[in-house]
Structure 1
Amino acid sequence: MHIPYKKTAFFVIIISTIFRLFWASQLEFGNDEVYYWLYAKYPDLSHFDHPSMVGFFIQFFTANLYFDSELAIRLAAILPTSIAMYVVFLIGRYLKNDFVGLLSVLLYNISIYGLIISGTFILPDAPMVLFWLLAFYFLIQVVPYQPKKENLLKLFLGFLCIGLAIYSKYQAIYLLLGVGLYVLFFNRKWLLKWQFYVAFIFPFVAVGLIVYWNYQNDFISYKFHNERVSFFNLKFRQASFLREIVGQIIYNNPYIFVTIILMIVAFIKKNFFFDKKIVRFFLLFSIPLMATTIYLSLSRDTLPHWSSVSYLTLLPLLAVYISTNKNIRRNLIIGCAFLMILLSGVALEINNGWVLPVQITETKEILGRKDALMDLYGWQQASKKVTKVLQAHNLTNLPIISDQWYPAAHIDYYIAKPNNMLVYGVGALTKIHKYYWINSQNRALTNHKVLYITDSRNFRNPAKVYSKKYNQFKLIETIPILRNKETVKYVFIYLLIRD
């Protein structure tokens, strides 16, 4: 019986999209997500932390924030990821056949990074992954082969997508590195074609926009990221290294991680027979970023998702490697179904707390601090309860200040926005990030009375933080946030007064 692999791939993508829509509708914003909502609310050529594409995606998919909910904003990740899944199908089909394309899609859906981190949560990774995979799809059809006139359109489209990927997240610069390394070592004939150099206009424009914004802002992004990713700090940090390795294994799925290693070893030992120029192309577009993040983790804290797009890049080649296993399709389908059901259960558990243990502490100011999942819960409840308190005390006319971008962004979205209030970042630039620029777009902060709102996961005593700016600190209300009838954190409302 012939199995329509292309239709099956479409079916998997549709089911995946439905599940991701469900998760997006159930979970509140995490710290990073709600921060990137600010990119859409206050658009700019670039931003302190990342380039602008994620903000533009949010504007596009929400009709410039006309539809302003967690689900609507996360559409900017969910729908592009569905397209990205189809792109890996196309890459797999290009490599061999529709069956390999289907396996590529199934592998994508067992990746925590591909399915959730970049596929559901609204982060710069969402647009970056889409444009990265599109760039790879176009370039793999062109760069490994002899330069031909009929392939120039794909070359230009590939470089256009590189530019868009770079304008999404800085890691995409490794796409240019991949092209450069392949051409330099394996196909120098492209160096004789003037069209090859013209194609670089697209990424140069993206880099130019980022550099121009930084030129206007004292190159602040580069100073910030240089502190995070310095290549020359030789002090070994075992904890960060182990966290990076374990994180890469978990984020990308242990099955994918181990099988990629086995595939590379098989290729080196000549037990995996496939077109060498294609395998080299895959490896040059993936291994350098993986190696860089591991190297950086030797001396400083890194985040596992920094290199995860490289794992997604390898999925079609991995699909070729495992395609001879007769049971692999059934096992991957079972794996996808299990992961989707498991993550749906996790989403429901975050909101209901049926199984998670409740942290017990007599100190209200630290309740929930050790529960990372609390980033995704409690702010909708806080919004209603805080609004009642502010209206009862006639305080909605005052601005809110915060000394860090989190929980400032949560407060901005869930509390300030419904009440038409302004949030100001009052603190060091390295702590308030985007709020440094938001402050200048809002009216000047001259109020003698302001509100300071925080929660027990991020509590800092305002009397210590703002002792030089204000001299009275009145606790207006301490609000319990409940889950399954248990208090899981507190929200604190302070009135700060300067005589």
Structure 2
Amino acid sequence: MIPPFFKKKHLWLLLAVSALTRLLIAAFTELGNDEVYYINYALYPDLSHFDHPPMVGWFIQLFSLNLLSDSELFIRLGAVVAGTLNTWLMYLTGKELKDETTGWYAALLYNVSFYTFVISGIFMMPDGPQMLFWLLTLLLVVKAVKTGPEGAGAGRLVLMAGVSGGLALMSKYTSVFLFTGAGLYFLMYDRRWLRKWEVYTSILIALAIFSPVILWNVRYDFISFSFHSERVEVVKTLLRPDLFAIELGGQIFYNNPFVFGLGVAGIVAFYRKRLPGNRDAHRLLLTTALPVILLFLGFSLFRRTLPHWTGPAWTTLMPLAALYLRNETAQGREGNRLPPLLKGAAGFLALVLTLALLQISQGWFLNKGINPDTGKRLGIKDITLDMYGWGQLREGFEPVYRQDTASGRMHKDAVIIQQRWFPAANLDYYVARPLGLTVLTLAEIDRTHKYAWITQQRGGFHPGMDAYYFSSSYAFSDPNGLYKDYFIRIEQPDTIPVYRNNVLVMYHYVWRMRGLMFHPPDKLTGKNLSIRSDSYPD
């Protein structure tokens, strides 16, 4: 067995190396579509928002000093800090199941999963704060269950879990599965908990913390809840095994095939009664995780889902996977610092992450570029271009904008108009704010999301205003088909090229739309609040 002081030294090293690696990636890669969108939660704080509760915006405000430092690093800093704390929480949870070595394996597993290392540990999305409060809640309830309903301090642990669970709900709606998981455990395995007043008080505490989101939704006819229910609603249609395969494959990849396999092995070992320790704690982990995984796999038989929705559930299984590794493998029983399965998981993560970063920055693998005459791509679609080239766009557009306003070709108060939340948010962060322009959206709320509110707060539209419209060869849209009835004239676009590793990979097109003829209808208060789930972040 590894001596305690030796393990702790390696745990601190893991925390430091993981945090530094994620900080470097955070600092030197451009923000993704979702991340630039969530900056608006910090710029325009509210009790809640169209897509998610407000916690992600609060994290951005806190760690960027209310956007005083708004570089990519500081926008993402909250996710990096949360990911580091989560490693410690995962260590403590694994330790609760058996010993420090189990905790060490759990901490390692947390840092070799793409979901926990990258999606919730680098990218500033709701998953970052959610995982912090999810794991804290999970640790508190595991401790309470081990203590037992009549044990000293059990009630206090449950009350504390109500606070952290409420904060998890303020991060992302799927945190409700923390409460359903605990409820299933109480109903199925230990109904003595149902006689504890602390259980019901903790639910009331969580609801009190979550109440601003409820009040916001009451004000807007529960539009956020409607949006999310539409995303997962099962409709009468043919079974879609292809979507099921995509969901299952995504879960395996996002969580790292090695971690996924160890999680499944932990489940099997539990049901075969091969895992030592407190079975009640094991049951709690399973009643929290398995319903989420099975639910979204079931939904995927009928409609498209996103694999990272089950990320918290697979993370919940990591302590069981660590216990399996500790108890059922020779290297684990010997207390090996890095068993072969964890080496394989770390190697797989490092390989894929390195290839992804090289593709984003250099385009080594999909960098066939575009045809300079037609703007059409050569080769398959490269999704890494979502996180590349925005700085080049600003540099190319700035002289155009300065010349237009200096010559009077465009009014000095010209705005940027877009018809979707992305690339509106990308243009807002990388182009408009540095140049002092305003981004507005003009479309139905199902396409603009929070920008429906932002457009109002920024003063909206007025007749006679001039506007720029941006599109790209990567995701082309033509304003003539959208706004020709709104403006006196839409001029031919300018073209701004984007190069990566000396290869032309994208054209940005910039149209001048002259003279808004009338005040557009208010899309926020309009009757059409339809929701199309194919166009949403997260």
Q: TM-score, normalised by structure 1?
A: 0.95
What displacement does 1:233 show?
4.1
> What's 1:40 paired with?
42
Q: Which of 419, 427, 444 is the matching residue for 1:403?
A: 419
For residue 437 of structure 2, what is the amino acid of its counterpart? Answer: M
> What's 2:502 paired with?
485
> What's 1:125 paired with?
127
8 Å Cα contact 1:367-1:490 kept in structure 2? no
In 1, Cα distance between the equivalents of 2:305 and 2:348? 29
In 2, Cα distance between the equivalents of 1:330 and 1:265? 20
> What's 2:440 paired with?
424
Structural mapping, 1:120-269, within 5 Å: 120-143=122-145, 145-231=148-234, 233-269=236-272
Q: Structure 1 242/87 Cα, relative in aligned 2: closer, same or farther at 3 Å?
A: same
8 Å Cα contact 1:240-1:301 kept in structure 2? yes
In 1, Cα distance between the equivalents of 2:364 and 2:232? 40
Unmatched tracts of structure 1, length 5 or more: none
For residue 357 of structure 2, what is the amino acid of its counterpart? Answer: A
What displacement does 1:327 show?
3.6
> What's 1:380 paired with?
391
For residue 177 of structure 2, what is the amino acid of its counterpart? Answer: Y
Q: Which of 349, 367, 375 is the matching residue for 1:364?
A: 375
8 Å Cα contact 1:24-1:120 kept in structure 2? yes
In 1, Cα distance between the equivalents of 2:174 and 2:295? 10
Q: Which of 447, 453, 463 is the matching residue for 2:480?
A: 463
For residue 88 of structure 1, what is the amino acid of its counterpart? Answer: M
For residue 111 of structure 1, what is the amino acid of its counterpart? Answer: S
3-state SS, counterpart of residue 119 of structure 1 = coil
In 1, Cα distance between the equivalents of 2:343 and 2:63? 30
In 1, Cα distance between the equivalents of 2:115 and 2:305? 15
3-state SS, counterpart of residue 181 of structure 2 = helix
What displacement does 1:348 show?
3.7
8 Å Cα contact 1:31-1:406 kept in structure 2? yes
In 1, Cα distance between the equivalents of 2:376 and 2:400? 19
> What's 1:452 paired with?
469
- The RMSD of aligned alpha carbons is 2.0
Q: CA offsets per residue over residues 219-269 of structure 1, 9 Å max, x none?
A: 111221122111454532222211100000000011121222222223223
What displacement does 1:294 show?
0.6
Which has the larger displacement, 18-27 or 234-243? Answer: 234-243
Q: Which of 4, 7, 11 is the matching residue for 1:5?
A: 7
In 2, Cα distance between the equivalents of 1:359 and 1:496? 29
In 2, Cα distance between the equivalents of 1:34 and 1:246? 28
3-state SS, counterpart of residue 490 of structure 1 = strand
Percent of paired sites with the same residue: 36
> What's 2:449 paired with?
433
8 Å Cα contact 2:267-2:320 kept in structure 1? no
What displacement does 1:354 show?
3.4
> What's 1:495 paired with?
512
In 2, Cα distance between the equivalents of 1:369 and 1:406? 21
8 Å Cα contact 2:33-2:426 kept in structure 1? yes
8 Å Cα contact 2:290-2:313 kept in structure 1? yes
Q: Structure 1 216/136 Cα, relative in aligned 2: closer, same or farther at 3 Å?
A: same
1:91 and 2:119 are equivalent in the alignment = no
1:108 and 2:110 are equivalent in the alignment = yes
Q: CA offsets per residue over residues 367-411 of structure 1, 9 Å max, x none?
A: 898111101111111112111221122256311100001111000
Which has the larger displacement, 256-265 or 357-366? Answer: 357-366
8 Å Cα contact 2:370-2:376 kept in structure 1? no
In 2, Cα distance between the equivalents of 1:369 and 1:455? 16
What displacement does 1:307 show?
0.6
In 1, Cα distance between the equivalents of 2:380 and 2:356? 19
Q: CA offsets per residue over residues 5-26 of structure 1, 9 Å max, x none?
A: 1221121121011111111112
8 Å Cα contact 1:26-1:347 kept in structure 2? no
What displacement does 1:123 show?
0.7
3-state SS, counterpart of residue 496 of structure 1 = strand
For residue 167 of structure 2, what is the amino acid of its counterpart? Answer: L
1:390 and 2:401 are equivalent in the alignment = yes
3-state SS, counterpart of residue 153 of structure 1 = helix
What displacement does 1:217 show?
1.0
In 1, Cα distance between the equivalents of 2:259 and 2:69? 37
In 1, Cα distance between the equivalents of 2:62 and 2:347? 31
3-state SS, counterpart of residue 263 of structure 2 = helix
Unmatched tracts of structure 2, length 5 or more: 333-337, 518-538
What displacement does 1:146 show?
2.4
Which has the larger displacement, 395-404 or 100-109? Answer: 395-404
What displacement does 1:338 show?
5.8
Q: CA offsets per residue over residues 31-61 of structure 1, 9 Å max, x none?
A: 1111111111111111101111000000000
8 Å Cα contact 2:484-2:490 kept in structure 1? no
What displacement does 1:196 show?
1.9
For residue 474 of structure 2, what is the amino acid of its counterpart? Answer: R
